[in-house]
Structure 1
Amino acid sequence: MSKLPPHDMGPAANAFRDKVRAWLAANWTAERKAAHLKKPFKERGWDAEFSRLMGRDGWIGVGWPAKFGGSRTPTEQIAFITEMANASAPVQAHSTGESIVAQALFLHGSKAQQDEWLPAIRRGERSFALGYSEPEAGSDLAALRTRAVRDGDDFVVNGQKLWSTGADKAEYIWLAVRTDPDAKKHAGISVLMVDLRSPGITLRPSTALYGKTFSAQFYDNVRVPAKNMVGAVNDGWKVITDALASERVMIGGTRMAGIERAFDHLTEYLKTAVVGGKVLRNDPVIRDRIGALAADIEVARLFQMRNSRLIEQGKVPLHEAAMGKVFASELQERLGQAALDILGTGGLLSEDAEGAPVGEMEYVLRHAIMGMIGGGTNEIQRNVIAQRGLGLPR
């Protein structure tokens, strides 16, 4: 848990946090963690075996609505995310399915889909990547061109997608397709759950600036069962926007856990650091900057709490999620910039570099770029806030 106040999250959340810590101590052992850290950096964070272990013991979907098996309050969910981040536990193998895909299935999935897919996601048995962006459809997602044409009991998909994090490792992709090319821009779109092992799919992984991989995918007459369409045909824009709201909550939540951990490491270093005979903790400029970051982290926590509560109530936090996503991603950038200013050239050393004062900070700054672009750029989020939240004209 972050060393920032408040330490006390309430009796229920504190007790739950202790349970999470105990489970991690027994299952995310030093040996398992050491073996994970031996992997290339781009492979870290993804561990399908660990996700299945979490699913076995009921740790996936703890924040889902009670009717779908969730059992924890928003505060407890935040405690869970924080403890997993503090332990550097790998959760990427199930996180997209647990949050984005599951949220769409709650709202738009058929009973048969909910009965089949949600339990499998909770068991850690079905991993997902997102198939949204295309060469000419990024933040303007409604410009997508990848086609899906009905053929009997299947849809036949042709097209290209870009920047799908984890697509080289996931089993399925949450794919946005155009099913009516003659409809208006935001109409004629549908969503399919596509098995990435299907014939006709070609993947081309690339390394992102922050060190992990994303993939371009090419779809050449890929057959997808029609039963894998979520929502009605040509009604996918609603499914996508509801899922995007959940993605922005996830981005904000997971990012906040990493921000708090990095901030704790930075402040621990500053408590004892002496550089050139200067005690850093006594520098008023440094104290002012650290204090401002601490206040910002508290604000971001409140955004996270509100969004979690809205989802728990079955609501879709469109502009609220945009606010949290913008604030958390730009806070991460401010934290990284502040750390590099304070640490000087030593702040440029990576986490595994000898002599790095707080080695993760250069990664914090590199990773911030993904947060400000992923899930829709922050410029787009500001439009959502203005139009959906404040009712300003388009």
Structure 2
Amino acid sequence: MTKLPEFDLDPAAKSFRQDVRQWLRENWVASRKAEHEKLPFKDRGFDRDFARALGAKGWIGAGWPKSEGGLALSPVEQLVLTEEMEYAQAPYGHIVASTMVAPALIKFGTAEQKAAYLPRIRSGEIAFALGYSEPEAGSDLASLKTRAVRENGGWRINGQKMWSTMADKADHLWLAARTDPDAKPQHAGISVFIIPMGTEGFTIRPSLAMYGKTFSELYFDDAWVPDSALVGEVNKGWAIITSALAAERVTIGGTVALLQRALDQLTNYVATAEVGGRSLRDDPVILDRLGGLAADIEAARQLALRNIRLAAMGRTPIHEASMAKVFVAELQGRLGEASLDILGSSGLLSEDAPNAPVGEMEQILRHTIMQILGGGASEIQRNIIATHGIGLPR
């Protein structure tokens, strides 16, 4: 396969990349099922056996501090691990727990919560889903209406959540709920809870999204959880949420390795294909377009690396994470459009079609919808970049 040049990293990171790549060959690539062989955007979900194997290597807690049982890998090594996992299309169902929930628990959780959840997250035993968006509170999360009211030494929860990825497979939900309906500003009255799946009054309804993955609607009808489910202080959940959202945007921005894989496949096709007796590799327009996409992928990788470095320094990348998310989402759209332009109508074939030249490239475009909306719509991200990054007025 014709591939883009690898990221030029320091010797230790290069060595680590080879270790990760070899481990994935032995523990995933060689044994993965046929449905995972096809193209990047399958619903890879939570593979418990794979997560346990990854946990045994310590790589689920790769970026955690050693005091919390992590490996404290360097930012570059964390990027290497993410890139190789994504490029190999390995299951990523542990990622919400490892990169969003665990860092929040390390910073805001009680000693009991850390002891209860961190070891099981690190070992790959449990997965989390997010309970953030609602019918009238998607990107504007501060306007959420799901209520949590104190009752009998715990909290009574009522409301609805939407677009929760992995909720049908996870063990726990990381829930944002309103605990003070009169708070001004609105985000001042929100708290975060850990809700076990199977809690009475908590219903999950999975659906298939247009981009080919499962998402769920969540309903709370007088669901009750004890006080121990509250993370951090009452009405102080916004700091926890924004920290986790930034981590989600870093994760979304870091999925550029999936796009690199798709571009490698497309480049490999162009290198050998002929149309009307003419080699595609001799078409200057196609080469210019592929070159532009390759440059954009390199820029996206640099943005992802910067975010990881900021996080390692103890900073929460807010507008920086939004920059990476917007750039990668729009890059994915450009890659999908270029693929269809180059492949023509055959690019619309599903991956199961025998004459598909590359695979289900059209799914890249469908998946762009999730990239643009998931974790906060691009319009909202641009507002964050403008206010937090440039200092423009709200």
TM-score interval (norm. to shorter)? over 0.9
TM-score w.r.t. length of structure 1 = 0.94
Partner of 1:332: 332
Give the Cα–Cα distance (whole angstroms) in 2 for the partners of residues 45 and 166 of structure 1: 7
Give the Cα–Cα distance (whole angstroms) in 2 for the partners of residues 249 and 199 of structure 1: 34
TM-score w.r.t. length of structure 2 = 0.94
Deviation digits for residues 198-239 of structure 1, max 9, x if unmatched?
111111111111111111011111111211211210011111
Q: Does structure 2 conserve the Cα–Cα contact (< 8 Å) formed by 1:131 and 1:161?
A: yes
Give the Cα–Cα distance (whole angstroms) in 2 for the partners of residues 306 and 351 of structure 1: 35
Partner of 2:347: 347
Partner of 1:207: 208
Give the Cα–Cα distance (whole angstroms) in 2 for the partners of residues 33 and 135 of structure 1: 36
Deviation digits for residues 50-82 of structure 1, max 9, x if unmatched?
112211222212122344313311211121112
Matches within 5 A, 1:39-188: 44-68=44-68, 69-92=70-93, 94-184=94-184, 185-188=186-189
Deviation digits for residues 134-177 of structure 1, max 9, x if unmatched?
11111111111111111233211111111101111111111000
The one-letter code matched in structure 2 to 1:225 is P
Give the Cα–Cα distance (whole angstroms) in 1 for the partners of residues 48 and 222 of structure 2: 29
Is structure 2 residue 248 aligned with structure 1 residue 247? Answer: yes
Partner of 1:234: 235
Q: Does structure 1 conserve the Cα–Cα contact (< 8 Å) formed by 2:126 and 2:171?
A: yes
The one-letter code matched in structure 2 to 1:277 is G
Give the Cα–Cα distance (whole angstroms) in 2 for the partners of residues 125 and 272 of structure 1: 45
1:333 offset after TM fit, Å? 0.7
Partner of 1:318: 318
The one-letter code matched in structure 1 to 2:211 is Y
Give the Cα–Cα distance (whole angstroms) in 2 for the partners of residues 75 and 361 of structure 1: 30
Specify whether residues 302 and 62 from structure 1 end up closer, same or farther in structure 2 by C-alpha distance, changes over 3 A only.
Answer: same
Deviation digits for residues 302-357 of structure 1, max 9, x if unmatched?
10000001111111000000000000111011111111111101111122221111
Q: Does structure 2 conserve the Cα–Cα contact (< 8 Å) formed by 1:65 and 1:312?
A: no
Aligned to 1:134, the other structure's residue is in SS state: coil
Give the Cα–Cα distance (whole angstroms) in 1 for the partners of residues 67 and 313 of structure 2: 11
Specify whether residues 32 and 290 from structure 1 end up closer, same or farther in structure 2 by C-alpha distance, changes over 3 A only.
Answer: closer
Deviation digits for residues 237-269 of structure 1, max 9, x if unmatched?
11111111111001111x211011111111111
Q: Which moved more, 1:265-274 or 1:353-362?
A: 353-362
Q: Does structure 1 conserve the Cα–Cα contact (< 8 Å) formed by 2:58 and 2:71?
A: no
Give the Cα–Cα distance (whole angstroms) in 1 for the partners of residues 257 and 107 of structure 2: 27
Give the Cα–Cα distance (whole angstroms) in 2 for the partners of residues 298 and 131 of structure 1: 33
Matches within 5 A, 1:21-40: 21-34=21-34
Give the Cα–Cα distance (whole angstroms) in 1 for the partners of residues 330 and 97 of structure 2: 25
Give the Cα–Cα distance (whole angstroms) in 1 for the partners of residues 143 and 35 of structure 2: 43
Give the Cα–Cα distance (whole angstroms) in 2 for the partners of residues 218 and 375 of structure 1: 20
Give the Cα–Cα distance (whole angstroms) in 2 for the partners of residues 200 and 308 of structure 1: 38
The one-letter code matched in structure 1 to 2:389 is G
Give the Cα–Cα distance (whole angstroms) in 2 for the partners of residues 342 and 35 of structure 1: 25
Aligned to 2:224, the other structure's residue is in SS state: strand
Q: Does structure 1 conserve the Cα–Cα contact (< 8 Å) formed by 2:59 and 2:71?
A: no
Give the Cα–Cα distance (whole angstroms) in 2 for the partners of residues 74 and 248 of structure 1: 16
> Percent sequence identity over matched residues?
58
The one-letter code matched in structure 2 to 1:75 is V
Q: List runs of 5+ in structure 2 lacking aligned partners.
A: none
Aligned to 1:214, the other structure's residue is in SS state: strand
Give the Cα–Cα distance (whole angstroms) in 2 for the partners of residues 370 and 153 of structure 1: 39
Aligned to 2:168, the other structure's residue is in SS state: coil
Specify whether residues 37 and 170 from structure 1 end up closer, same or farther in structure 2 by C-alpha distance, changes over 3 A only.
Answer: farther
Give the Cα–Cα distance (whole angstroms) in 1 for the partners of residues 46 and 168 of structure 2: 11
1:29 offset after TM fit, Å? 5.0
Relative CO higher for 1 or 2, CA cutoff 8 Å, sep ≥ 6?
Answer: 2
Partner of 1:191: 192
Aligned residues between the structures = 390
Give the Cα–Cα distance (whole angstroms) in 2 for the partners of residues 233 and 89 of structure 1: 37
Q: Does structure 2 conserve the Cα–Cα contact (< 8 Å) formed by 1:2 and 1:260?
A: no
Give the Cα–Cα distance (whole angstroms) in 1 for the partners of residues 294 and 45 of structure 2: 27
Aligned to 1:303, the other structure's residue is in SS state: helix
1:16 offset after TM fit, Å? 0.8
Partner of 1:357: 357
1:2 offset after TM fit, Å? 9.3
The one-letter code matched in structure 2 to 1:315 is R
1:43 offset after TM fit, Å? 5.1
Give the Cα–Cα distance (whole angstroms) in 2 for the partners of residues 123 and 2 of structure 1: 36
Q: List runs of 5+ in structure 1 lacking aligned partners.
A: none
